[in-house]
Structure 1
Amino acid sequence: MATPAAADRATGDIAPALSSLPSPSPSPEISPASPISSTGQIPLEQPPKLKGRRKLLQNLQRMSSSPTLTRRGRSVSTTGYRHDNKASLSCVSLSSSPYSPCLPNGSSSQLYGGLKPRPATPGCSGSAGMGAADGLNPRIRLVGTDSPASGQPRSVPMPFDLRPTSREAPWTESTTVDGETFTSAVLPESQPAKLLDFWGDMPRELKMEIFRYLAPREIVRCSAVSKLWNEMCYDGQLWSKVDTTEYYQKIPSDVLVKLITSGGPFVRDLNLRGCVQLREKWSSDGERLSDLCRNVVNFSLEGCRIDKTSIHYFLLRNPRLACINVSGLSSVTNSAMRIIAQSCPQLETLNVSWCNNVNTKGLRRVIQACERLTDLRASEIQGFDDEEFAVELFERNTLHRLIMSRTDLSDQFLKALIQGANPTIDVLTDSPIVSPRRLRHLDLHHCSDLTDDGLKSLAHNVPDLEGLQVSQCSELTDASIMDVIRTTPKLSHIELEDLENLTNSTLLELAKSPCCQTLEHLNVSYCENLGDTGMLQIMKNCPRIRSVEMDNTRVSDLTLMEASFRIRRRGYGEDIPQVGMRLVVFDCANVTWAGVKEVLSSNAYIPRARKPVSSPTIVTVTQTASESGSVSPMTTTTTFVTPSSTPTFSPSPSPEPTSTYPAEIIQLKCFYGWQMTVDEHTKRVLRGELSSARRLDRKWADYMMATEEAGAAGAGARRRRRRAREAERLYNADEEEGDDAYGFGGISALTGRRRAQSGGCIVM
Structure 2
Amino acid sequence: MEPADQAAPLDLILDGDKKRKLEGGFKIPKKKRTDSESKDEAKPAVMSPVKEEIKKEVPKPMKIKKKKVTDLEKDETYSPSSKEKMKQPLLDRPPKLALLETPKMALLDTPSPEPEESGQPTTPPMAEEDRSRFGLDVPKSVILQEYVTLTDESKHVLTREIWRRIFRYLLPGSLVQCMKCCKVWLDWISDPIFWPSINLSRYGPIFPDTLKSVVLRQPGEIDLSYCTITRKQCDWLLPRLPNLKTIRLSGLPMNIIGSLNGPLVANLRHIDLRWVDDLNDWGLRDLLSVSSGRDHKPRFRDLQGLQLSGCPLSDDVINNIIRYCPNLKHLDLSYNSNMNDRVVEAICASDLIYSLTKIDFSGCPHVTDKSLLMMKKCYDLTWLDFRSCREVTRGACVRFAHSFKKELIITEDKLIHPPTVDVYLQAS
TM-score (norm 1): 0.30
Which structure ranks higher in relative contact order (CA pairs < 8 Å, sequence separation ≥ 6)? 2
With the length of structure 2 as denominator, give the TM-score of the two structures: 0.50
